[in-house]
A and B are shown apart, each in its own frame.
Chain A
Amino acid sequence: MTALLEVSDLFKTFGSGEAETLVLSGLSLTLQEGEMTALLGPSGSGKSTLLTILGTLMKPTSGRHTMLGRDLVAANDAALTEFRNLHIGFVFQFHNLLPDFTALENVVFPTAVREGRETPAARIRGRELLVRMGLGARVDFPSAKLSGGQKQRVAVARALMNRPELVLADEPTGNLDRVSAMQVMDLIAEINRDEGTTFLISTHDEKIASLCARQIVVGDGQVTG
């Protein structure tokens, strides 16, 4: 396996002066292509901040961050936006779908925003993903009317739309009941196995973490295990 992503000596502070808070303190981490990794750690350990930086939504205060051989610390906002669109998918705890759009429209968004329109090819791909997520009957359903589990599966389909190398999932099952949570995790495991997509899943749930081949524990802003 080759390294997909690498961060080293990552520091992140918020605020300044007496209010300055150190969240990441020299964290180093490497993710291999096709890995399915759980990110564990107590609240406030820096998991979400790490995911945000890895997702190029935020820059570290200092340190090195590369993915697919590109230095993402030096890249500007436009370059990061394009990189994020092409290579990184997100699944959030609260699904974060666009409420005024249908399930299919939500799924094809990452492609449509790049292409400037919803191409027929994108709609076919989006429909296939929704069918794979068990939502074939909900393709044109308004996303606001879907159940919590269905919304999260739409969010997973959206994250996979552009065939990204890396999917970052922040507590993807944290807002779901046990049955829905296991359905979502089964889907993630299936995609990881079939398509070789790399997953980094932040979770508090040991059972969810046990489904991942690798576990990383973060504490006090560093990888501790």
Chain B
Amino acid sequence: MLYGLKIAIRYLTASKAQTALLVLGVAVGVFIFIFMSALIGGLAEFILSRTVGDISHITIEAEDPDPAVLVNGDGLVLAVIERGRTRTATLSDAATYLPLIENVPGVVAVSPQIGGAGFLTRGAQVAQVSVTGLEPGRESAILNLRGYMVEGSERLGSGIVVLGETLADDLSLRLGQTLRLQSSTGASAILTVGGIYDTGNGLIDGSSVYVSLPTARALFALPQGVTRIEIKLSDLNAADATALRIASLTGLDAVPWTDGAEQLMEALDAQAQTGYFLKTFALITIVIGVASALLLSTYRRRPEIGIMRAMGAGRGFVIFVFVTQGALVGLLGGVSGAALGYLALLPFPSRDAFEPGTLPMDITQGSYGLAITLTVIGAILASILPARSAARVDPVTAIGQ
């Protein structure tokens, strides 16, 4: 087989220009494959980071207990205690679960929170807001508050509130000014504006405020426990599996972000399918290119194949020579195309620095190894037909040509 390899290499190097063109053709196909992989992957990453990057990947919320009912001996419901208007359900044992959850593989941040509704009053102006109590020191665990700050700091302490720029404008609030926050339970607190953020999300910027967890406990009369636990993962695609794992560990109802995001997932799937089609077409182009070039080579070398057969080369040897040529072309073209693709993707910003208006190319999603492997396999498959054709060459006819 070593000798077959030598002949295959000799045939490729004997027609340098033709081989270079063939390798270039394959490399362009691989380049397109890698470019499409990086674009489709980067685009999906960009969309996900913009839509779910700043939300909890897994959320555990306290479940309201079933309403108490009074039933007579015949099973007839006599009385029902209706749910209260304000949220009372709590995760009272949250402190026990937090270390367990933090140790689950893939979990990068855990944020115990107390959430509820409230009214913000500044002079005569009143705004209805959503209040979230965060653990001091973990303010940016889920929503990257620090990254969105336009004034002040995201640090939450006693008597500090952090709010959005839209809300601050609506209430004519400035950094260091005070306001009154009344919760839905009726408790109120006088707070100082410690920071103003701008996330670009109208709902968060216009109607959400953040206070420290102790402040929220006082506002919502929750001396212990939390109302929800938000969890961030290193791989948001692992949310379903990790949620199941957390649920089995804690017995709590862990909900992945994908619940209720079916439309987004469908859109991403459709985008991925488009990518597969484009990559498949690139591979088909490679296969056709290699097959046609090798068929041409087979035809051109028919007399030589005839001589080899006359000198005692078996059909298997001839097949090996031509299949090896295909494999070498695939390998050379695959590696060259992968290198070209990598170099072409280098100038694009990294996935963490995608900016609006630029192509969100993710160099880490180029599928380089896959591209090279598929190209070599494709080139080998493409060379089988020419190789079989070469092996069937009749030595007598070929030598007489």
Binding site for B on A (CB under 8 A): 52, 55, 57-58, 77-78, 81-82, 84-86, 90, 92, 96-101, 109-110, 112-118, 158, 162
Contact = CB atoms under 8 A, between A and B. Distances in A.
Given A58-B396, A100-B14, A85 B311 contact: yes
A98 B307 CA distance: 8
6 contacts: A85-B311, A90-B310, A96-B303, A113-B317, A117-B2, A117-B3
Contacts of B70: none
B303 A116 contact: no
Interface in B47-83: none
Contact of A57 (B2, B4, B6, B396): B396
Contacts of A116: 1-4
B3 A84 contact: no
A57 B395 contact: yes
Nearest to A83: B312
Contacts, number: 63
B127 interface: no
Contacts of B310: 55, 57, 84, 90
A115 B10 CA distance: 18
Interface on chain B toward A: helix, strand, loop, or mixed SS? helix
A80 to B, nearest CB: 10
A98 B396 contact: no
A202 to B, nearest CB: 14
A57 B395 CA distance: 7
A131 B187 CA distance: 110
Contact of A109 (B14, B311, B396): B311
Given A57-B396, A82-B312, A117-B6, 11 more contacts: A77-B315, A78-B314, A81-B312, A82-B314, A85-B312, A90-B310, A92-B399, A97-B307, A110-B311, A113-B308, A117-B3
Contacts of B4: 116
A50 B228 CA distance: 95
Contact of B309 (A81, A100, A117, A158): A81
Interface in B384-401: 395-396, 399
Contacts of A101: 10
B307 to A, nearest CB: 5
Contact of B312 (A84, A92, A117, A118): A84
A58 B394 CA distance: 9
Contacts of A158: 311
A186 B396 CA distance: 28
B11 interface: yes
A144 B25 CA distance: 30
Interface string B270-304: 00000000000000000000000000000000011
Contacts of A115: 3
